[in-house]
Amino acid sequence: MKTIAPTFRNPLFAATAFALLPFLAPALPAQAETTDWAGNEGGRMRIVALAPDTRGIVRGALQIEPKAGWITYWREPGDAGIPPHINFPSSSDVTLQRMSYPVPKRFDNGELRDIGYDGPVAFPFELKIKDPSKPANLTASTFIGLCRNICIPFQAEFSLSLKQEGGNSFSEAMIINDAEGKLPESPSDDFAVTHYTLSADGDQLRLRLRLPKDAAKKPKVIVTGPEGHVLFGDDEGKRDGDDYAVELPVGKLPKGYEMKGKRWGILVLAGSRAMETSLAFE
């Protein structure tokens, strides 16, 4: 049975709590656009970043290498855990445009279900620098969880010096390209959500999917709602040819939560393929 040490879902609470924890590594200087590794007993992490382009866009990746037997987490960790975060000081001239998440695994341990990675993973991200003509000296604060029998929060700070004339190395570009190549695919003609609706009482989310012909009979379906709210569906559905229908219990939503106008995420794992999109509720 997995035992869970401190886990946090509220970012403000997490940031406050982490200030009191002895897991903060010192700021690490960048070597070209790759920082040194920061490590703890569960694994290590670093940042790789390319030089800004003429628009001030910086492509990068947060690399995490859990030790054998440890896992780290997806953007929604499941029943417990800490998703990865990167933050930059509000006073800096850089903004995080987006961070993406490679296809995860689902780990079942009794009644607990985790979503994450049990091997090396890189989370690609994109930054926007206000004035790309000037060197940008940045401090990135990273915040992840590593879990084995307990979940250990791990925070580190990395220093980056980015400038257009710095150039890019082949190895750094390959790391980022490889990370981007492991992201879920977008909906397509042979792999998509074809219909979705809530039951009249709002207790069930009804989905119809089109699956690839060579996919496993029943896919793994993960739906993410408000922060910390995850629906799982992989055993209850019915398949008819390439079509798959499943109903997922919505569960208890936060008090006062209104579905209208919200977008939920959905990830479908079907054999060797994974598709991610959103469900808009109007």
Q: Specify the CATH number for the domain of residue 23.
A: 2.60.40.1250
pTM: 0.85
- Residues 17-61 have pLDDT tens digits of 444 333 444 444 333 479 999 999 999 999 999 988 889 999 999
Range of the domain at 235: 192-280
**If we measure between CA atoms, which residue out of 93, 106, 229 comes closest to residue 163?**
93
In-domain check, residue 28: yes
In-domain check, residue 6: no
How remote is the C-alpha of 134 from its chain's centroid? 31
Which run of H or of E encompasses 88? none
- Cα angle 110, 113, 119; round to 5: 110
Cα 172 to Cα 260: distance, rounded to the nearest angstrom: 43
- Residues 131-147 have pLDDT tens digits of 888 888 889 999 999 99
What CATH number corresponds to the domain at position 217?
Answer: 2.60.40.10
Tokens 């985790």 — which residue?
114
**Which of 145, 162, 181 finishes a domain?**
181
Cα 73 to Cα 121: distance, rounded to the nearest angstrom: 10
The pLDDT of residue 13 is above 70: no
What pLDDT was estimated at residue 5? 38
Same-domain pairing of 199 and 267:
yes
Residue 29: phi and psi, rounded to 5, are -70, 150
The pLDDT of residue 16 is above 80: no
Secondary structure (DSSP) of 181-193:
HTSPBPPBTTBEE
The pLDDT of residue 15 is above 50: no
In-domain check, residue 265: yes
Q: What whole-number percentage of the chain has pLDDT above 90? A: 67
Same-domain pairing of 158 and 239:
no
Q: What whole-number percentage of the chain has pLDDT above 70? A: 87
Same-domain pairing of 88 and 169:
yes
What pLDDT was estimated at residue 101? 98
In-domain check, residue 187: no
Same-domain pairing of 154 and 228:
no
Any idea of the CA torsion for 77, 82, 83, 84, to the nearest 10 degrees? -150
Q: Which two tokens stand for residue 235?
A: 């055993």
Cα 196 to Cα 268: distance, rounded to the nearest angstrom: 14
Mean per-residue pLDDT for 156-173? 82
How remote is the C-alpha of 262 from its chain's centroid? 20
The pLDDT of residue 159 is above 50: yes
Beta partners for 123? 62
Task: State the total domains in the chain.
Answer: 2
Same-domain pairing of 50 and 79:
yes
Tokens 């570009």 — which residue?
173
Mean per-residue pLDDT for 113-137? 92
